[in-house]
Structure formats: C-alpha cells, structure tokens
Structure 1
Amino acid sequence: MREWVNQLAEAGELLVAERAVDPRFELAAVTKRAQQAGNRPILFRNVKGTRLEVVTNLFADARRLRSLVPVKEGPFAAAYASMLDAAESRVVAPTREAPAPGDLQQGQLSDLPLITYHERDAGPYFTAAIVLARDPDTGVPNLSFHRAMYAGPRELRLRLGDSHDLTDYQRRAEEAGQALPVALLIGVPPAVFMAAGTHLPAGVDEYALAAELAGQRVDVYSGAHSGLPVPSATEIVIEGRILPGERRPEGPFGEVLGYYVPEAPNHVMEVECVTWRRDALFHSLLCGSREDLAPLEAINAARVYRDLSRRLPGIVDVSCAPAFMNTTVQIRPQYREHARDVMEVVFDSHADYNQLCCVVEEDVDLSDMNAVMHAFITRGRVDARTLVISDRAGFYRDTQSDFVGRVGLDATRPFGREGEFVVKEVPGLDAVRLADYLTRGSRI
C-alpha cells in the first residue's frame, strides 16, 4: 500500500492534511467533506493521540480500481471475473516465505489511531482491518473484512457475518473448546485488499486471487504469536485469538447501508501482539463511503458477470452501482424472454446482495441510473416488464426481514420492435468545443 500511495503522490492525486485533526469525529468529517468534492486519496500527517499517519479514500475511484487488474481489455466485470477463474484453478503456490521486515516495531493498541466515525458509534473502530485466519481442519488461510471495536488495550470486539468463512472457522474451533488464532492486517498491498473483499468458494485461498492480481506470489512471513502467513508489506499487524464461548456488547456502529446497527453480543478478540513498520501508514475507511462501496460494487459485478456468462448468451457488462444491492445487466437480446432469464440468474447468484435487477441494452449507459429508469419507463408497459419475487431471503444481517423479496425491471426494447426505439442524436455534437462559440456576456 505504501508504494501505491507514493505513486499516487507522484501523480499529483494525493491530498495531504498537515493540520492536526482529532480522531474523534473530526477526521471522519474532513474525509467525508473531501469525498463530497471528489475521489482523491487523503493523507493525514498529524492525528492527535498517535504518531502514525492515516491514509484514506484509496479505493474510491473506479479508474484506480481498474488499474489493479492486469487484464486491461474489456469491462472491469469481465476482467475481474477472469481473475476469479485463474485463482480458483491456480496450481502454483500463491505465497512465498520471506523473513519478517527488519523495521518492525512493537507497541500497544492504544498507540494506533483510535478513530470514532459517527455520532452514535460505541467507540473507536478499526474499519479497514482484514482478519487473517486458517481453516481449523485444512489449514487453508482466509482473508475477510470485519469491523473491530476498540474495547481496551488488549481487547477488540468483532462482528462476524453469518455468511463468512471466518464465522464457520470460529464455530468449529469453539465447538472443540479452542480459541481461534487470528491476525488483523491494516495497510495491506492493494491486491490483498481486493482479494479479502472477494467471496471465493470454500477451500480457495484468497492469497491465490491476490497473487493473480499482483502478477506474482505474495511474500509472507510467520506472525510472531499467531504463526499465520502475514504479507510482508503489511503496515500494521494485530495478532491474537478469538475466545471460545465469549460474547460481549459491541456497537452501535454506523454501517455500510448508511444506518446504525444496534448494540449486540459479539465475538471477543484477545490481543497478544501489535507490530508496525517504521513510519507505518494506518488505513482508515469511512463505512458506506465510495471507498467502501466502489470495491464492493465492482467485485459483486464480476461475480454476477461470471455466473451470467456461464449460463446465458449475450451478456455484455454488469454494474452493481449504486449501493451494491442493485445489479444492472447490459445484454444483446437473443430471444423474447432473455431479460427475464437474466433476472433469475442474477437473483440466484449472490443471495446477500441482489435485491433489484435492471436489464438494459448497449444503447443505455448501465452506470447511469437516470438513463436506466428512462429506458424502463419509455420502452413499454411497466407492469408487464416488472418481475416481483416474494419471500426470497436476502441480506444476512436482516433480523426484521427488510431485505426479503426481489424486483426485476426489464428496460430493454420490445423484442422484434427495436427499430421503433432508436435513440435520437444531434449530428456534430462530439465535435463542438463551447469555447469556440461562447463567451461570458454582458447585460443586453
């Protein structure tokens, strides 16, 4: 990550805050205000209460995300889907043993930036921390994102989502009466960050995807306390274990959907060791911001694209923006019910996230929801082109059944009547430079 930040700085993209900022609300407020103005990454050099610098908004820009995928041809969804295929079929070891960095320093949790993001948050949270663990039975490493609440100098409280492999690992370890060794990684190489946010089949190592994205094996060293394979370029490592049979209050916290999740009894991590590199960068992520949503939307789109391409013809591209629970699919219609078949596959491909599916043709920008809605409204009967599926469970974090059900919108042209819906164009539009025609005028 440090190398990437330096590259962004050299390209003139990095914003730098020299002024001292308070990690309680002020840092998040500055971050959000900067995000409202654009997607440039931000480096906070002077955060009160810590010697470490904080970097944020690294993954907020689609162009930067695209640069992380070595396949440059075609849309992002197709390129990233090819990385998934390569990772799942990889036979070469994805990691390479390396010595621990020579500049590692040891300290306490309280030495790190303790950032409180939202008004009702229960306290400071580590939001960009990746949890590294091993399958208790097979030993296969796993990388995944889970929020971690600071509860004291040697305690973090973790929220483990029901659909994550880590939750299964912890359950099996707990059933055996064992604590689960884990390491929280903060400030990892971009390929590792993207891999950790990608749900892979059980038994597939996220490091395999990271290696495919990076174009080389990931250098790792053995964590001093956990023995887990830690990426050598990681800025900060928190080692410890998730305790069996122990749940303590965690939350409330302002989560990805834009609302607070309430306090609940959640898992407890006993911290055993905290290390960081010299001049380490602490990665902060404002939940629900573009840095949170952009990678999630892109990764989900790739998964859906792969499922669709394997089962149906004519798939051009997929977008899961905005808000990642919406999926828009661009197709070349092959038959009358093509759009409806697309919706069914989408709703089956990722139960957690696909609440709404819109299907468009190549003459509609699938990333522009105004254009998508215009196509749906103007291309035929809306009642006949709406698919409603009731009582299908959705997002796992849904105690009130608010995410049950699906809606599909067919915004394609009526099959066989495409000539009636030719989008009007003004000849010569692309060649017009307004500066050649218009000046700032005075009063008439």
Structure 2
Amino acid sequence: MRNYLQKLKARGELLEVHREVNCKHELAAVTDAAHRRWGKPILFHNVTGSKLPVLTNIYGSRERLAEIIGIGPDEFCKQWSNIAAIAEKRSMPASVPANGDIKYVECKLSDLPLITYSERDAAPYFTSAMFLAKEPETGVQNLSFHRSMYVSDTELRCRLAPRHHLTLYHEKAEQKGEYLEAAMLIGPPPTSFLTAAAPLPYDSDEMEVAAKLQGAPIAMRPCKHIDLMVPASTEIVIEGRFIPNERRAEGPFGEFMGYYTPVGQNAVFEVLGVTCREDAIFHSILCGSSEEVLTLELSVAANIYQRISAVLPGIVDVTCQPFVLHTVVKIRQQYEGHARQVLLAVFGAEPTWAKVCTVVDEDVDIYSMDDVMWAVLTRSRPDKDTLIIPETPSFYRDEHKEHWGRLGIDATVPFARRHEYERKKIPGANTVDLSAYFDSE
C-alpha cells in the first residue's frame, strides 16, 4: 500500500494534513469535506491518541482502482467479473517467505488510532480492516470486510452479514463448538483489497488470486498467536479468534446507506495480539464514501454483467449509479422487447442489491447520472416503459420491508424507430480551446 501511496504523492495526487486532528469526528469531517471537493487521498500526520499517521481515500476512485490491476476505468465489468480466470492465466507461486527486511513491533489496540466517525456511533470503529480466515474444512483462504466496534484491548464486536463467506466459516466452526481464527489486516497489498471485494466463488483461495493479480508472489510471514500466514507488507495485523456461540451488543453505527444501524447482537472477536510495522501507516475508510461504496458497486455491477451476459446478447456495460441499489445497463438493442428482458434478467441475477434498474442504449454514458436521466426523460413513457414488481425482498437488513419491490425503467429508444433518435453533435465542441476566445480570470 505504501508503494502506491508514494506513487500518488510523486504525482501530486496526495493531500497532507500536518496540524493535529482529533480522532473523534474531526478526522471524519475533514475527510468527508475534502473528498467531496477534491476526491484525493489524504494523509493525516498528527492524530490525537496515537503516534500513527492515518491514510484515507487511497482507493476512492475508479481510476485508482483500475490502475492497481492494470485495466482501464471503464473495463471493470469485463475484467473484474473474470478476475479469478485472469489470475489463473499467470502461472507462478502464490506466496514466498518474507525476507526479514521489514521490522515489526507489538502493540495494543489502544495504541492505534481509535476513530469515531458519526455523531451517534457507539464507540470507535475499525472500518478498513480486512479479515483473513481459512474455511474450517478445506483450508481455502478468504478475504472480506466487516466493521468492528472497539470495546477493549482484547475485544472487538463484528457485524457479519448473512451469506458472506466469513459468516459461513464462523457458523461452521460454531457447529463444532470451535473458535474461528482470523487476522485483521490494515493496509495490506492493494490487490488483496480488490480481491476481498470481488465476486469470487466460495472455493476460490483469495490470497492466491491477489498474488496472481499482483503479477508476483506475495511475501508472507507467520502470525504470532494464530495458525495463519499474512502478507508481510501489511501495515498492521490484529490477530484473534471468533468466540463460538457468543453474541454481544454492537452499534449503533453510521453505515454506508447514510443511516444508523441499530444495536444488534453480533459476533465477538477475541484479540490475542497486535503487530505493526515500525513506521506503520493506519488506513481508515469513511463509511458511505466512495472508498467503501465503490468497491461494492463494482462488485455488484461485475456480477450482474457476468450473469446476464451468459443468457442475453448485446450487453455492453453495467454500473451502479449513483448508489449500489440502482443498476444501469447499457445494451446494443437486438430486437423489440430486448430491454424488458434485460430488466427481468437483472432482477433474477441479483436478489439483494438490484432494487431499481434502468436500461439505456449504447450512446448513453452510464457513468453520468445526468446522461442516464436525460435518456429516461426523453426516451421512456412512465405508463408503458416502467416495470414494477411488488412484494419482492431485496436488501437483507430490512425488517420493515422498506426495500421490498422492484422498479425497472426501459430508457431505450423504440427499436423500430432507432434512426429517429440520433443524438445531435456540434463539431469541435469537445476539442475547442476556450483560452483562445476568452481572457483567463
């Protein structure tokens, strides 16, 4: 991670804050305001309560994420949905032993920046930590993100979402009355960050995929308190285990939808030890920012693209804009009714996130909601081109059924009259040099 950080700094793409910043609310407030204005990563050098600098928003743009794996920012669906296949083409060992160049020190959780983000958060939270764990029966390694509430130096409480692989691992271990060992990685190699969010099969070894995406083996070192190997370059490693058949109060917490999740009985993680690089950098993710939501949007879009492309022709691209619950599909129309079939395919392919879906033609920029809404307003009839599917669940954490139902919008041009919908063009408008016409101010 720090190598990529240095690359961004050399290009002038890093914001640095040297004045003291409070871990409680102030750091989150500065992050939120600066991200909305500039969209650049931020390095806070002086944070209250800890000697460690805090880095945030390093993975907060499509361009930066694409650069990490060497693709274009508009190629995620075609490339990321086949991320495991791409990795398999690279024949190489997935890991090598660390050479000992990096020095580590042992510390406590309370030595780390304990960041409180939102006004009603119950406690400081670890938001960027990636859990590394082994499937209890096969030993396959999984990487995943789960927020963790700080309770003490020996206890975190983690919200494990239904159907996530780590949740299934924990449940399998619990059935045998066993602990599930896991390592929380803060600041691991960038390809592992992406792999943790990618739609990979249950039996994929995600550390191997991360290594092959990197194009080189990942140097690994053993943990001190649990039977796991972790990437040696990781800034901070929190070692521990999930206690079987134990749930304790966690929350409230200001989460990615912009609301507070209420107090819930959630998994308990017993912390057995913490190791840091001598000059460690703490990575923080502001929940609801693009650094958190973008990877989810890319994962959902890639999964939908892969599934609907397998059953329907003419699928050009998929994204989730301006939020993960809205899927936008770009198609090259093949026949009358094509868009309606796409709508139904999307709802069938993605039962959790595809609450609303809009289908547009290939001349629409699906990464611009202005262009998508222009297509909706100029190409669809509300009484004919809107599909409502009632009483259908979607987002899993929805006890009041506020996310039930589906809305589909066909914003494509009439198939038989496509020639009437050629978009106007002004020659030179996109390339004109305005400084030749106006005085700069």
Does the 8 Å CA contact 2:20/2:46 hold for their aligned counterparts?
yes
Aligned counterpart, 1:354: 354
2: distance between equivalents of 1:337 and 1:84?
A: 33
Q: 2:82 aligns to what SS in structure 1?
A: helix
Letter of the aligned partner of 1:398 in structure 2?
D
- Alpha-carbon spacing, 1:163–1:90, altered in 2? closer, same or farther (3 Å): farther
How far the C-alpha of 1:390 sits from its partner, in A, is: 2.1
Does the 8 Å CA contact 1:304/1:346 hold for their aligned counterparts?
yes
Gaps of at least 5 residues in structure 2 are none
Letter of the aligned partner of 2:404 in structure 1?
V
2: distance between equivalents of 1:279 and 1:301?
A: 37
2: distance between equivalents of 1:100 and 1:208?
A: 21
Deviations 1:203-260 (A, max 9, x none): 1112233123212232222211112121111100000111012111110000010100
Aligned counterpart, 1:316: 316
**Number of aligned residue pairs:** 441
1: distance between equivalents of 2:136 and 2:362?
A: 47
How far the C-alpha of 1:349 sits from its partner, in A, is: 2.4
Gaps of at least 5 residues in structure 1 are none
Q: 2:395 aligns to what SS in structure 1?
A: coil
2: distance between equivalents of 1:10 and 1:41?
A: 13
Give the TM-score normalised by structure 2.
Answer: 0.95
Q: 1:68 aligns to what SS in structure 2?
A: helix
Does the 8 Å CA contact 2:102/2:232 hold for their aligned counterparts?
no
Deviations 1:146-185 (A, max 9, x none): 0000001111000000120111111111111111111111
How far the C-alpha of 1:308 sits from its partner, in A, is: 2.3
2: distance between equivalents of 1:404 and 1:154?
A: 39
Letter of the aligned partner of 2:237 in structure 1?
V
How far the C-alpha of 1:309 sits from its partner, in A, is: 2.1
Deviations 1:393-416 (A, max 9, x none): 211222222222211111110011
Letter of the aligned partner of 1:321 in structure 2?
Q
Aligned counterpart, 1:54: 54
2: distance between equivalents of 1:430 and 1:171?
A: 56
Letter of the aligned partner of 1:199 in structure 2?
P
1: distance between equivalents of 2:349 and 2:325?
A: 12
Residue 154 (structure 2) pairs with residue 151 (structure 1): no
Aligned counterpart, 1:67: 67
Letter of the aligned partner of 2:145 in structure 1?
F
Deviations 1:295-320 (A, max 9, x none): 22222222222222222211111111
Identity of aligned residues (%): 46
- Alpha-carbon spacing, 1:406–1:217, altered in 2? closer, same or farther (3 Å): farther
- Alpha-carbon spacing, 1:73–1:401, altered in 2? closer, same or farther (3 Å): closer
Shifted more, 300-309 versus 3-12: the winner is 300-309
Q: 2:207 aligns to what SS in structure 1?
A: helix
Give the TM-score normalised by structure 1.
Answer: 0.95
Letter of the aligned partner of 1:220 in structure 2?
M
Taking the TM superposition and a 5 Å limit, the aligned residue runs for 1:336-355 are: 336-355=336-355
How far the C-alpha of 1:73 sits from its partner, in A, is: 9.4
2: distance between equivalents of 1:436 and 1:87?
A: 49
Letter of the aligned partner of 1:275 in structure 2?
T
How far the C-alpha of 1:189 sits from its partner, in A, is: 1.1
Deviations 1:52-99 (A, max 9, x none): 110001111121111022345962221222324334788865333435
Taking the TM superposition and a 5 Å limit, the aligned residue runs for 1:198-209 are: 198-209=198-209
Letter of the aligned partner of 1:299 in structure 2?
S
Taking the TM superposition and a 5 Å limit, the aligned residue runs for 1:133-282 are: 133-282=133-282
